[in-house]
Structure 1
Amino acid sequence: MPVSPDYRPEPRFFDLGAVFADAVQAADFPKTVLRFRNDRAAAEVGLEGLSEAEWIAAFGRFEPLPGQPGPIAMRYHGHQFRHYNPDLGDGRGFLTAQMRETPRAAALRERGDRPRLMDLGTKGTGQTPWSRGGDGRLTLKGGVREVLAATMLEAQGVPTSRAFSLIETGEALERGDEPSPTRSAVLVRLSHSHVRFGTFQRAAYLGRKDQIEALIEHVRSLYHPSVAAGDAPGLLAAIVESSAKLTARWIAAGFVHGVLNTDNLNVTGESFDYGPWRFLPEYDPAFTAAYFDQTGLYAFARQPEAVFWNLTQLAGCLKLVAEVEPLTDALNGFGPAYIRELRAAFLMRLGVHSLGEAADQRLVDTTLALLREGGAALRWEPLFFDWFGGFASSARALSGPRAKSYQGEAFDAFRFALMEHEPDRIERLEHPMFAAREPEEMLIDEVEAIWAAIAEADDWAPFQAKLDRLEAARLAWGFTA
């Protein structure tokens, strides 16, 4: 298989042994039709040179990539809507490969760290020992939705897994929550780690101090190497920091994950596993993504609370090997870190420099107040689009389709706070995207229209056109996660 010279296989999770995962095989699918291939992501791990046939062999039939031992279903537990479930694990997916980023990919990241260890994980690859009676499959609609969510979030600067491959598999699936039979697919995602909070929970549930210690060293050495060996509170503090950043960037993006269970949060602070996600149609703290979230547990404004609750469950696992007080101190860092990261995320999305804590917080507060007052006439994403670059965009915003929303006391306070901040890389405003009257959004009506074209006419043009526009937006914004 013609991998790049920069392809560096490093299947490290496999080294932890059979107590953490089970060897599995992918289902034998009736057909394999390539629907999406992320060549930019592939180039970051040395796999851009695969032909279509080789790609399908690797990510449709799951023939092992060079240096990879074969797929494993990871074992974990988790709280689902705060009810503990010890019968979880990879039930319709698996870890298929791990490799290092290329040096060029590492250099392009925000801090230019050493090449990170990356995972290729799947969704829809068939039954495993943890399928709990499910068919282990993924609907094609679910795969399309995950590609769209991950692509949008990456463009907005949210730390996220990336959709790597989507292959239609030719099975008719029965589902109770959408018209059936429906088409099937297998998705591959590229992520920094698939080690979940629930991975630690399983070891703690079994009372296995040795497994907790093994996980701490594995996660510390590979994902948080600045933490000293054996320092469980230090590792928790690092995970708290990365989780606070992720949560803040979800909020700045107007994103609602929908299912913030402990098996859906990982140790690198990276968003993944997109099910009933939504982006805010307008400012609404109580907005939920999942129809089954009857109590609003994972509503938009409750996401920081949900992430913190999950972190407390992780801390509880670490009590097997560490004292309570330093773990509590690490947990207590979440609130200050979240507020700090929220200010940074709002400034990033508005394209302005920091002026100091007080001025930055004033800008966050006045932005939220304007969004609250503007409602459906303003919406979330358009405000950040209209005022990107700060006051340098005033003529564009005040002559645009939302000009009537930019008046009154709330707007005056926002404008004053924004005027205090200098533009960051003002040359970004020269991108053609900012000449458009409307930004790229990802609201449910558009998502459903993209799917309808596929479902009714096998028309993939709207899907591809949306991805092309999101790539242009990613380049225009110039964000890094």
Structure 2
Amino acid sequence: MPLRFDNQFADKFPELGHAQSIQPDGKGRLRWVNDALWKALSGGDSAPGALVDWVSGNKDWPGTKPIAQKYAGHQFGHFNPYLGDGRGLLVGQVQAPDALYDLHVKGAGPTPYSRGGDGRAVLRSSIRELLASEAFYALGIPTTRALALVSTEGQIQRETVEPGAMLVRVARTHIRFGHFEHCLYRNLEDSAKRLWQYSIESIWPGAANKSVSEQFRHVVEATAEMIAKWQAYGFVHGVMNTDNMSLAGETFDYGPYAFFDEYKPNHIFNHTDHAGRYGFMQQPGVGLWNLKRLAHALGGFTDDQSVNDVLEGYEPVLRETFLNVMKQRLGLTDVSNNDTCWSLISGWLMLLETYQLDYNLSYRALSAILEGNWQSLSGNLGEIAQRINENGQSWLNDYTEAIANKPDTETMKRVNPLVILRTHHAQYVIEQAEQGSDEALNEYISALMTPFEEKHKNTRWVVPPESGQPPAELSCSS
């Protein structure tokens, strides 16, 4: 059956947006479609041939009711009331067999919230978001999803002239912390109350009849769990403004992001983040700061003390989630003494940082060391295993004692990817796509969707950048 649209946000909250259609930018070309996701949303059907014309705006998308959402937000710690969907539209909401999902088209043309921008997205940034969202999904990190990528005939002026694109994003919600900041700024208390209750009913229906503070607990815990998983997999978001924080705790608005190659926790990837506000080590604290801004915005219809009490639960959830993921990654699931686990985790991270080892491949190398077959490894994995074995004997001795010489390498292989999203591979894919070829794009997405499988061991997608190469500096330009 076709997608069943139920456009609740546009119907219930017209005052929080601007209704308009996708504005075409020439003929569209379908570059990639997530057929498995389309089938999940539709109940089994494949994506229709008309999708490219719907996404590019050259034909009306049946059942949709596009709206550009208005919100505010704190950007690098400073409040900005003039934000909103400047180039994207919530085109509609789909009632899937399991839940209601948002469909959002990025690059859909200028809106009243474009602030002088052209309302377009470039192919480069669209591919980066596509790769990130599907890589995250495969790793089990809460995320928005990519449904389809369409390139356009438009030539978009950024630092240089770049080819244009439109990306269809799927999310549980596009309601951001910044929606409530906008309502507070504009004294829209009734809208804020209704939007909050609507959000809870949509995302956590079981909490619909609870107090606002108990409902808020779901947002706090979802945010903590999301950021804990970022930390465990070595991910830097790069621009954690409150308008980039999803109420559902899904990783949102992929911009100047990166996964670590060599573990350098103090490196700042976003070259505009001069103070390092959104660096890797700051992410947990920024998450709490952002939640406090949301709590303040909810203050008109909740008890401040109750909400502050809920915020106290943020750090314990973050620490517990991080610990549990790291115990799996390091094969410590049978070690009951958490103090021992924390000590081993700290020692492991210090080892990686001191010897500048590749963050994610080191876990795969460790499992080979524990199985006693690391000397048969070739290439980068073999080199990493050798360096761990040479430089980490003290840590390995403590580790072996803690696990009673019974490593859980099967769990380790299920959670430690061979293929991780790397900036230099993404750039190669982008360059190929800009020349008209989608072969590398399809190949890399396929690998990122199955990141734990041994079949990738000898492919280009496992290879990190050359040792000693400085980490990439990334831009918010998109």
| TM-score bucket (shorter structure) | 0.7 to 0.9
1:170 aligns with 2:167: no
Supply the distance in 1 between the matched residues of 2:177 and 2:372 (Cα, whole angstroms): 44
Contact kept in structure 2, 1:244 and 1:337, CA below 8 Å: yes
Aligned equivalent of 1:201? 181
What do you get for the CA RMSD once the two structures are aligned? 2.7
Q: How does 1:69-80 map to 2 (within 5 A)?
A: 69-80=64-75
2:95 corresponds in structure 1 to 100
In structure 1, the partner of 2:345 is 364
Of 316, 325, 334, which residue of structure 2 is paired with 1:336? 316
Corresponding residue for 2:466? Answer: none
Q: Secondary structure at the match of 1:473?
A: coil
Question: Does 2:361 align with 1:382?
Answer: yes
C-alpha contact 2:332 2:341 (8 A) present in aligned 1 = no
CA apart distance, 1:386: 2.5
Structure 2 residue aligned with 1:413: 398
Aligned partners of 2:43 and 2:312: how far apart in 1? 41
Deviates more, 1:329-338 or 1:143-152: 143-152
Quote the offset at 1:414 in angstroms.
4.1
Cα separation, 2, equivalents of 1:397 and 1:354: 27
Counterpart CA distance in 2 for 1:245 and 1:232 is 20
In structure 2, the partner of 1:292 is 272
Asked if the contact 1:355/1:420 (under 8 Å) is kept, the reply is no
**What percent of counterpart residues are identical?**
28
Which residue is equivalent to 2:79? 84
Question: Are 1:391 and 1:419, in contact at CA under 8 Å, matched by a contact in 2?
Answer: no
2:325 is aligned, of 342, 345, 364, to 345
Cα distance in 1, alignment partners of residues 84 and 320 from structure 2: 34
Pairs within 5 Å for 1:59-74: 59-61=55-57, 63=59, 65-66=61-62, 68-74=63-69
Q: Give the corresponding residue for 1:323.
A: 303
Residues 232 and 475 of structure 1: CA distance in aligned 2, closer, same or farther (over 3 Å): farther
Name the residue aligned to 2:292: 312
Which stretch shifts more, 26-35 or 240-249? 26-35
Offset at residue 405 of structure 1 (A)? 2.0
TM-score of the two chains, using structure 2 as the length reference = 0.86
Matched, 1:42 2:25: no
Q: Aligned pair in 2 of structure 1 residues 326, 49: CA closer, same or farther (>3 Å)? A: same
Any gaps of 5 or more consecutive residues in structure 1? Answer: 103-114
Q: Is the 8 A contact 1:200 1:317 kept in 2?
A: yes
Answer whether contact 1:220 1:229 (CA < 8 A) is retained: no
Counterpart of 2:255 in 1: which secondary structure? coil
Please state whether the residue corresponding to 1:182 is helix, strand or coil.
strand
Whether the 8 Å CA contact 1:354–1:360 is kept in 2: the answer is no
CA contact (8 A) 2:370 2:409 kept: no
Letter in 1 for 2:21: Q
Q: Are the counterparts in 2 of residues 387 and 394 from structure 1 also a CA contact under 8 Å?
A: no
In structure 2, C-alpha distance between the alignment counterparts of 1:334 and 1:62, rounded to whole Å: 46
Structure-2 change in CA distance of 1:458 and 1:230 (3 Å): same
Q: Where does residue 148 of structure 1 map in the other structure?
A: 131
For the residues of structure 2 that align with 1:82 and 1:462, how far apart are their CA atoms? 38
Compute the TM-score of the two structures, normalised by the length of structure 1. 0.86
Where does the alignment leave 5 or more consecutive residues of structure 2 unmatched?
Answer: 456-478
Q: Is the 8 A contact 1:387 1:397 kept in 2?
A: no
Tell me which moved more, 415-424 or 310-319: 415-424
C-alpha displacement of 1:232: 1.6
1:453-472 Cα distance to aligned partner (Å, 9 max, x none): 233x4232222211122223
2:10: which partner in 1?
A: 14
State how far apart, in whole Å, the 2-side matches of 1:418 and 1:275 are. Answer: 40
- Equivalent residues of 2:418, 2:454 under 8 A apart: no
- Looking at structure 1, the residues matched to 104 and 267 of structure 2 have their Cα atoms a distance apart, in angstroms, of 30
8 Å CA contact retained: 2:156, 2:162: yes
Contact between 2:94 and 2:100, CA under 8 Å: does it hold in 1?
A: yes
Contact 2:335 2:402 in 1 (8 A): no
CA contact (8 A) 2:334 2:403 kept: no
Match of 2:112 in 1: 129
Equivalence for 1:112: none
- What amino acid maps onto 2:181 in structure 1? Q
Q: Which residue identity does 2:361 align to in structure 1?
A: P
* Deviates further, 306-315 or 141-150: 141-150
Retained in 2: the 8 A contact 1:217–1:230? no
Aligned-partner residue type, residue 401 of structure 1: E
Count residues in correspondence. 447
| 8 Å CA contact 1:373, 1:410 repeated in 2 | no
Q: Which amino acid aligns with 1:466?
A: Y
> In 2, distance between residues paired with 1:351 and 1:11?
45
Determine the C-alpha separation between the residues in 2 that align with 1:360 and 1:301: 20
AA at the equivalent of 1:441 = I
- Given that 2:34 and 2:147 are in contact with CA atoms closer than 8 Å, whether structure 1 keeps it comes out as yes
The residue matched to 2:350 in structure 1 has which SS? helix
Post-superposition offset of 1:59: 2.1
Counterpart-to-counterpart distance in 2, 1:38 and 1:173: 25
TM-aligned CA deviation for residue 71 of structure 1: 0.5
Shift in CA distance, 320/362, structure 1 to aligned 2, threshold 3 Å: same
